[in-house]
Amino acid sequence: MNFSFFIAKRYFLSGKKKNFIQWLTWISLVIVAICTTALIFVLSVFNGLEGLLFSLNSSFDPEIKIELTKGKSFDATEDLLTKVKETEGVQYVTEVIEDYAYIKYNDAEMVVTMKGVSDDFLLEKRIDESIVTGELKLKEEHINYAIIGQGVQYLLSVFPINSVTSLQVHYIKDIKRGTINTNEMYSKKTILPSSVFSIQKVYDESFIIVPISFASELLDYGTRRTSLEIKTFQGSSVEAVKTTLKNKLGSDFAVLDNQEQHADLYKLLKIEKLFVFIALTVILTVGSINILFVLSMLAIEKKHDIAVLLSLGIHKNTIRSIFLYEGIIISLSGAITGLVLGAGLCYLQQEFGFITMGMETAVQNSYPVVMKLTDFIYVGLCIFFITLLVSYRPAYLASKYTITENL
């Protein structure tokens, strides 16, 4: 601000006061436009990342998941399954047993999350497009097969095509005190790898999918399940189905949609978006201080004109409004320019993806962008209120000029 006054003083002394105000007005407009463009683009990127995250999660996770509110597993009785299957809008119900297991393949070994699924899992066609190697199957005649993540494949050096070597799957039992026989401490089964999926790192490096009968025998679960996964009919409301299931199953069961299954992750993304919005808004506010300076300079230059208007009977509130409108016009011009540029930049990113993530292992090469009308509205309102804030002081001072002192 001191530097600006130094320049202003120089222009006043050189008789270029009007040119300086015009120049500063254009600078203010450009700053508002640039900040608005940045706000729209960054918010659209966060929208795109949220959409990408949802699409990746929905490739592996269900539309609706039913699990116990307290506890790990429940008895999947015929009555319970019938209640769920007969719910309007429910197309498939996949029974799931999920737990950690220790696996070996030749000389390699690791701990994975084993997910046992019923036949409806393949009917949902959730991971069909994510298969990169092998044939998608869990059972053929009486032979069990495992679908493994690409990270698991790399770590164990598994080759599912024409593989004759089985995966050895071990599960540590809840043993009693005093047990000495090591064979009683864990259960063991073997299964052939059939295919490899690639969705995202968190799944690829930790999951194997097996038939539910295999998981039930290994873990000695019987009819117990850790969750039920629901796919709705196309066109059905997921929210409506979720509400109906909640009413049917009661408080003992948690019925979660896709976002609720990853509540912490989505919450973190929204918090990051909020803080970025606040940070860029602060920058916009600092940039808008130039509008305050422009209006202050304009009020000083127009002292005589203001006094003339007052002598003609113009009310002081009218003078205040004139300066407020001037600030709004400057800010609105910059805002509209910024909104158009932001939308154009987002469109170019959607079409050409010129801003890349810069990582070879990224899920996609360029940043995804999704424009939302609400972002444009929030940014526009934010600029409007900032403009009112910075314009009020010079408008108020201009309305305080007197006729006697300035004519």
What's the rounded Cα separation, in Å, for the pair 203 and 354?
A: 28
What's the rounded Cα separation, in Å, for the pair 244 and 253?
A: 13
Region 372-390: mean pLDDT is 86
What's the rounded Cα separation, in Å, for the pair 140 and 238?
A: 33
Residues, the chain, total? 407
Q: Name the residue with higher pLDDT: 39 or 307.
A: 39
Is residue 310's pLDDT more than 70? no
Is residue 212's pLDDT more than 90? yes
- How is residue 381 written in tokens? 């309102």
DSSP state letters, 301-317 = HTHHHHHHHHHTT--HH
pLDDT at 116: 95
Do residues 246 and 272 share a domain?
no
Domain edge (last residue) among 261, 291, 321: 261
Do residues 354 and 256 share a domain?
no
The mean-pLDDT minimum among 18-22, 176-180, 196-200, 223-227 falls in 176-180
Do residues 77 and 185 share a domain?
yes
pLDDT at 199: 86
Domain edge (last residue) among 229, 261, 293: 261
Is residue 18's pLDDT more than 80? no
- How is residue 126 written in tokens? 């959730």
Do residues 270 and 213 share a domain?
no
Q: Total domain count for the chain?
A: 2
pLDDT at 4: 43
Residue whose C-alpha is closest to residue 210's, from 128, 118, 133, 126 = 118
Q: What's the DSSP call for residue 366?
A: B
Residue whose C-alpha is closest to residue 292's, from 326, 249, 341 = 326
Region 128-143: mean pLDDT is 89
Backbone angles phi and psi of 372, in degrees to 5: -125, 135
- In the block, tokens 């993540």 appear at 149
Kindly provide the residue ranges of all beta strands, DSSP E only, lying in 306-367, ordered along the sequence. Answer: none
Do residues 112 and 255 share a domain?
yes
- How is residue 8 written in tokens? 């202003």
Is residue 16's pLDDT more than 70? no
Do residues 362 and 270 share a domain?
yes
pLDDT at 225: 95
Do residues 325 and 206 share a domain?
no
Range of the domain at 154: 64-261
Half-sphere exposure of residue 192, counting CA atoms within 13 Å on the CB side? Answer: 18
- How is residue 194 written in tokens? 């059939």
The one-letter code for the residue type at 112 is V
The mean-pLDDT minimum among 13-27, 76-90, 125-139, 324-338 falls in 13-27
Is residue 35's pLDDT more than 70? yes
Do residues 169 and 184 share a domain?
yes
pLDDT at 359: 60
What's the rounded Cα separation, in Å, for the pair 280 and 220?
A: 56
Residue whose C-alpha is closest to residue 35's, from 339, 367, 352, 394 = 339
Domain edge (last residue) among 261, 278, 303: 261
- How is residue 294 written in tokens? 């422009």
- Residue 67 makes CB contacts below 8 A (sequence gap 6+) with 226, 227, 228, 253, 254, 256
pLDDT at 155: 92
pLDDT grade for 8, boundaries at 50, 70 and 90: very low
Q: Name the residue with higher pLDDT: 94 or 180.
A: 94
Do residues 301 and 219 share a domain?
no
Do residues 245 and 381 share a domain?
no
Do residues 209 and 339 share a domain?
no
pLDDT grade for 306, boundaries at 50, 70 and 90: low
pLDDT grade for 57, boundaries at 50, 70 and 90: confident
Q: What's the DSSP call for residue 70?
A: S
pLDDT grade for 20, boundaries at 50, 70 and 90: low
pLDDT grade for 402, boundaries at 50, 70 and 90: low
Interval 156-179: pLDDT, tens: 988 887 667 899 999 987 655 555
Do residues 278 and 300 share a domain?
yes
Does the predicted model carry a pTM greater than 0.75?
no
